[in-house]
Chains A and B, each alone.
Chain A
């Protein structure tokens, strides 16, 4: 049988959303000292 196409946007996420690695807001933080982790993440994701 033909299954209907389900729109991704119509499928809810979990109650508590979880951002990708390194995506904590840091807006209220005095020193952004988690930046190293983000940098490592990019280095290891992108072949250089």
Chain B
């Protein structure tokens, strides 16, 4: 790997690293302290806590007014690009990403809410998407520069593996606004001319529902995933404990089979059974006997399957609470 000499020099110069970090931290503090920014950040905090956007004057004004948004972003550029011109190797202390025609910079975040800048670049090899991702979130957007197209998709009926989707195309240019609320709506940016810059406000619920990818226009569900990163963290932790055969974790894992998203409960059940089949069977029987539990039916099927494969499980004493 080629490392440029100025980067190699910086790697071994701790004092300069600290200086660059301080310069960028100061830039951030300066930006956040500007009155118009501080007011928006205060609103962002309320928005994260659950307030409706139209009850928050400054934030609503920002997403609704091209002039306000442009002024705030211009100020951000001045505050951060100034130090970067002197120290191009300094790192902007905000989450950012660039790759494959898409760049983003998270200007501020509070809880599940974030205010970001996103840039979509024209793609020479653009192919119209064959599917769209529906995630449980609130998204408000204002186009700041450039132009392009977007498709807005709405789930209008059906559920599970096939839904009915209505789609419409929108032409976007500076000043255009979009609002996508909840997991039954999705927007996709289509072909972009040059570059398109968008100010985005997003809010994810505390316990988000599933993220689903539906084929367009058929509405078939090729894939779904958890929309809740904490649930997935638990799922991965269970997988690790299971692979380590940590039988002492079986009790804690069995508890997770009792409540939460269905897929997480089922994984907890599988791992409990694999770690401690006696405890797992008791939990399985409890779930199978709960009328109204969405997992009752698959639990009954699994119970029958396990008894067929391991007849000795039927010889257990009467079930007791797990």
Contact = CB atoms under 8 A, between A and B. Distances in A.
A22 B138 CA distance: 17
A26 B90 CA distance: 32
A29 to B, nearest CB: 5
Given A20-B236, A25-B213, A30 B274 contact: no
Tell me if A's interface is mostly helix, strand, loop or mixed.
Answer: loop
A34 B133 contact: yes
Contact of A30 (B189, B226, B235, B242): B189
Interface centre among B120, B221, B224, B315 (most CB of A within 10 A): B224
Interface stretch (B8-16, B18-26, B74-82, B121-129): B121-129
Given A1-B316, A6-B277, A13-B270, A30 B223 contact: no
Interface residues of B, number: 69
B278 A21 contact: no
A8 interface: yes
A48 interface: no
B161 interface: yes
B271 A8 contact: yes
A44 B116 CA distance: 18
A26 B133 contact: yes
Interface of A: 1, 3-8, 10-26, 28-37, 39-41, 43-45
